[in-house]
Amino acid sequence: MLHADVKLDTLGYFCPMPIIMTLKKIKELTLGQVLEVVSDDEGIKQDMPAWCDTTGHQMVGSKKNRRSRERSIKRL
């Protein structure tokens, strides 16, 4: 995974909140910066790639830990 410029903790939030929180946070980034979203919502596995496809941002990393999933998104 690429180095994240900003990390967003969405642990404890469930659909649709991680995506809504990602939308708000990514607007604060400049083009090319990477946002790492940490979530324990199982739906993030499908939701984040779909959100990236519809918004034009690029998912550049994915990692699963014991209690959470991390997704890295590059603002385009």
Distance CA 43, CA 40 (A): 9
Q: What is the pLDDT of residue 1?
A: 61
Give this prediction's pTM. 0.93
pLDDT tens sequence across 42-74: 999 999 999 999 999 999 999 998 889 999 999
Q: What is the pLDDT of residue 67?
A: 87
Q: What is the pLDDT of residue 66?
A: 87
What are the extents of the domains in the chain?
Answer: 6-74
6-74 has which CATH code? 3.30.110.40
Catalytically active residues, by annotation = 15
pLDDT tens sequence across 1-36: 678 999 999 999 999 999 999 999 999 999 999 999
Cα distances from 53 to residues 11, 12, 46, 66, 74, in angstroms, run 23, 25, 11, 27, 12
Q: What is the pLDDT of residue 32?
A: 96
